[in-house]
Amino acid sequence: MKPICVLTSWVFYILLSILWAAQMLPYWLILQGPAAPIFEGDPLVLRCQAWQDWPLTEVTFYRDGSALAPPGPNKEFSIALVQEEDSGYYHCSGIFRSPGLGNQETASTVAITVQELFPAPVLTALLSAEPQEGGPVTLSCQTKLSPQRSAAHHLLYSFYKDGRILRSRGLSSEFQIPTASVEHSGSYWCEAATDDGQVWKHSPELEIRVQGPSSSTTSSTWNPAPQKQAAPATSPKKPSEPLPPLPTSTSEHAGFSSPDPHLHHQMRILLKHMQDVRVLLGHMVMELRDLSSSLKSGITKAPDK
């Protein structure tokens, strides 16, 4: 009885081989993948399915021609959370236990594309990246979920400055500073993450530099209005000698760069104030010379009377 069963199996295998060679059977092996589109953060399950579910051994899964794991009895291969890097051309191979001589069969290649769930966010300052001191600053973390998954997920936003967190995962994509000061200057970035925390992405860094009082306001405060002369001068005035220029931040610190950007910003403001003081001193010197000339003219005319 046993030889008859073995002979029947061999005949059946030979018949299947003839049908397969005549293309009357599709394939010995089929790689079954996901039917719906797959996105970042989704699980991926692949199954190496034999014709008529014949038992397999030495099953191997491949991506882009490279084996993903050693051969084994498991006919399924899974990735818990796929990324875009998992996209590629997959196939599998295996050896039939029976019937046959144990030849290795290979399934056709299946292309799997992992779609982007949402692009990396971009952090922007709504008004300016160089706001004035005392004014508001609004930062916006801009990204958008794929329309195919907008109903299944929503994004949470976090904001960071100089390596420390300002706000952890909230629904609003904006972060506001009501009154900006020089201390708010620094490097900012944001993070967008799905509500289940499976996918998260960071934005590039954005440099925020809070500006001090404007130079026009400072100049109008320090420059006095010109005054009329008390009497016409009889002797020609000597041209005022220009005061030596103050060293600028570039010349003064040619060989040194401050590691603190806030200190460098405050030094620039101080140098501006010193230049305004120099202008004021120039006006005062001119006024004193005019007053001295007027007094000399009055003293000269008094004996003639």
pLDDT in tens, 265-298: 567 677 777 777 777 777 777 777 777 777 776 6
Alpha-carbon distance 270 to 232, whole Å?
Answer: 38
- Length of the chain equals 305
Alpha-carbon distance 185 to 192, whole Å?
Answer: 22
Residue with tokens 């292309």: 111
- Measured in degrees and rounded to the nearest 5, phi and psi for residue 172 equal -80, 135
For residue 74, pLDDT beyond 90:
yes
Query: How many Å separate Cα 282 from the centre of its chain?
Result: 50
Global pTM value? 0.58
Indicate the burial class of 271 (C-beta count within 10 angstroms; 0-12, 13-18, 19 or more).
middle
What's the number of CA atoms in the CB half-sphere (13 Å) around residue 268?
14
Q: Select from 93, 122, 77 the least CA-distant residue to 30.
A: 93
For residue 79, pLDDT beyond 60:
yes
Provide the pLDDT confidence category of residue 249 given band limits of 50, 70 and 90: very low
Alpha-carbon distance 249 to 268, whole Å?
Answer: 7
Give per-residue pLDDT as tens, 128-155: 888 889 889 999 999 999 999 988 889 9
Q: Select from 202, 49, 48 the least CA-distant residue to 119.
A: 202
For residue 176, pLDDT beyond 80:
yes
Which domains are present in the chain?
Answer: 25-116 (2.60.40.10), 122-208 (2.60.40.10)
Alpha-carbon distance 56 to 50, whole Å?
Answer: 7
- Tell me what the mean pLDDT of segment 173-184 comes to: 93
118-145 exposure pattern, b = at least 16 Cβ within 10 A, e = fewer: beebebebeeeeebebeeebebbbebeb
Give per-residue pLDDT as tens, 82-109: 999 999 999 999 998 765 557 789 999 9
Residue with tokens 């399950």: 45
Residue 270: CB partners within 8 Å, gap ≥ 6? none
Q: Pairing between strand 164-170 and 66-67?
A: unpaired
